[in-house]
């Protein structure tokens, strides 16, 4: 944040005139030019001028997206910047279950304290992670039996209906499924998150996806050197070590979103791959430790949180 300029633009500017190109070019031509140039350099040429002013003063290169769904958000005014959410739906959805969790990620968890502490608590209480996992699975079954009379939520009718809806919307086919890979066996194998912890997983995934896009944008040349087209029915960004395993094995966001864990994948292959991993955790950690390309970070806070990435990787073996 450029403090002096921030004060300049909030002083005597109730009408917002200072943030218009016509006023600024008349009254502070040099600054006006600086802002336009800076935006051109940073790929923000298409923004309306008042938003350019905001981006320039707050050193913000990325256009913010909804914290809940990653869709575009509205720009409010200079002093507030962008809205955090695209809609009140997203805001409520985020607030009730996930707001605090996300805040803690943003505020203090880039250094992975959260995960380290959580692991410590689990070890103290259960002795090892296997024990913890089996405890979780047992308690999920128990709750489910009491609530619905079946061991897994997936066996209930409302789940089956809901799933059909989701599949129809997502794949255009309400039966899209790999029949020999039912959810139940996947839970048993530890490759599927069970419902008891799915709140945590969806939060984890959301943060990972968001960060992945940022890392991708900053390092497109490394991750997508052939400049393949990214879209729903073309290429996707894929995590070699999957997000789901990342969550199950408490892998920090910085590790799972490291450029060496990202590749472009044709969407059909991505559907086939589902949540499986191309590499093992140890391979991923080794790749990070021996990584020799320069990773770009346009945000200071990101640069900071990845600065000790090798140490973090070493500590995870
Ligand atoms: Zn949204």
Please give the residue that has the higher pLDDT: either 179 or 33: 33
Centre of ligand 1 from the C-alpha of residue 69, in Å: 4
Residue 98 has pLDDT above 90, yes or no: no
Q: What is the pLDDT of residue 194?
A: 45
Centre of ligand 1 from the C-alpha of residue 209, in Å: 14
Predicted confidence (pLDDT) per residue in 247-276, tens digit: 888 888 899 999 999 999 998 888 887 778
Mean pLDDT of 181-199: 48
Residue 180 has pLDDT above 50, yes or no: no
Q: What is the pLDDT of residue 312?
A: 87
Contact 45, 51 (CB under 8 A): no
Centre of ligand 1 from the C-alpha of residue 95, in Å: 12
Centre of ligand 1 from the C-alpha of residue 207, in Å: 14
Residue 291: which residues within 8 A CB-CB, separation 6 or more?
Answer: 258, 259, 260
Centre of ligand 1 from the C-alpha of residue 317, in Å: 37
Centre of ligand 1 from the C-alpha of residue 192, in Å: 26
Please give the residue that has the higher pLDDT: either 170 or 103: 170
Predicted confidence (pLDDT) per residue in 217-231, tens digit: 999 999 999 999 999
What is the pTM (predicted TM-score) of this model? 0.41
Contact 44, 52 (CB under 8 A): yes
Share of the chain above pLDDT 70, in %: 85
> What is the β-pairing status of strands 235-239 and 81-82?
unpaired
Residue 179 has pLDDT above 60, yes or no: no
Q: Which residue has the tokens 């021996």?
A: 290
Centre of ligand 1 from the C-alpha of residue 144, in Å: 31
Q: What is the pLDDT of residue 196?
A: 41
Centre of ligand 1 from the C-alpha of residue 87, in Å: 6
Centre of ligand 1 from the C-alpha of residue 67, in Å: 7
Mean pLDDT of 118-136: 82
Centre of ligand 1 from the C-alpha of residue 244, in Å: 22
Centre of ligand 1 from the C-alpha of residue 103, in Å: 16
Where is average pLDDT lowest: 6-20, 115-129, 179-193, 288-302?
179-193
Angle at 206 between CA 158 and CA 119, to 5 degrees: 95
Q: What is the spatial distance between Cα 144 and Cα 151, in angstroms, rounded to a whole number?
A: 6
Centre of ligand 1 from the C-alpha of residue 256, in Å: 24
Centre of ligand 1 from the C-alpha of residue 229, in Å: 24
Q: What is the pLDDT of residue 96?
A: 54
Centre of ligand 1 from the C-alpha of residue 147, in Å: 32
Centre of ligand 1 from the C-alpha of residue 271, in Å: 24
Q: What is the pLDDT of residue 188?
A: 57
Q: How many helices (H) and strands (E) does the chain have?
A: 18, 4
Q: What is the pLDDT of residue 115?
A: 66
Please provide residue 77's backbone torsions phi and psi, each rounded to the nearest 5 degrees: -155, 175
Q: Give 182's DSSP letter.
A: -
Share of the chain above pLDDT 90, in %: 31
Average pLDDT, the chain: 82
Q: What is the spatial distance between Cα 215 and Cα 297, in angstroms, rounded to a whole number?
A: 7
> Which residues lie near ion ligand 1 (Cβ < 5 Å)?
66, 68-69, 71, 86, 90
């Amino acid at each position: 944040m450029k403090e002096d300029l921030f004060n300049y633009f909030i002083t005597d500017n109730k009408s917002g005139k200072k943030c218009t190109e016509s006023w600024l070019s008349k009254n502070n031509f040099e600054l006006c030019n600086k802002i336009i140039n800076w935006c051109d350099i940073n790929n923000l040429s298409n923004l309306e001028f008042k938003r350019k002013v905001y981006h320039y003063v707050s050193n913000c290169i990325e256009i913010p997206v909804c914290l809940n769904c990653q869709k575009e958000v509205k720009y409010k005014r200079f002093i507030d910047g962008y809205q955090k959410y695209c809609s009140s739906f997203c805001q409520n959805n985020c607030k009730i279950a996930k707001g605090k969790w996300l805040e803690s990620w943003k505020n203090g968890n880039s250094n992975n304290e959260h995960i380290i502490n959580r692991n410590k608590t689990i070890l103290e209480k259960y002795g090892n992670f296997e024990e913890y996992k089996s405890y979780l699975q047992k308690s999920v079954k128990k709750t489910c039996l009491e609530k619905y009379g079946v061991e897994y939520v997936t066996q209930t009718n409302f789940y089956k209906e809901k799933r059909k809806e989701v599949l129809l919307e997502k794949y255009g086919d309400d039966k899209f499924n790999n029949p020999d890979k039912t959810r139940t066996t996947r839970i048993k194998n530890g490759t599927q998150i069970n419902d008891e912890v799915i709140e945590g997983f969806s939060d984890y995934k959301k943060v990972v996806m968001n960060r992945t896009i940022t890392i991708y944008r900053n390092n497109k040349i490394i991750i997508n050197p052939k400049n393949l087209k990214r879209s729903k029915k073309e290429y996707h960004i894929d995590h070699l070590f999957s997000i789901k395993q990342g969550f199950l094995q408490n892998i920090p966001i910085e590790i799972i979103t490291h450029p060496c864990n990202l590749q472009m994948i044709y969407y059909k292959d991505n559907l086939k791959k589902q949540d499986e991993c191309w590499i093992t955790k140890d391979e991923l950690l080794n790749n990070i430790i021996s990584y020799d390309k320069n990773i770009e970070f346009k945000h200071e806070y990101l640069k900071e949180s990845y600065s000790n990435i090798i140490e973090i990787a070493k500590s995870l073996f």
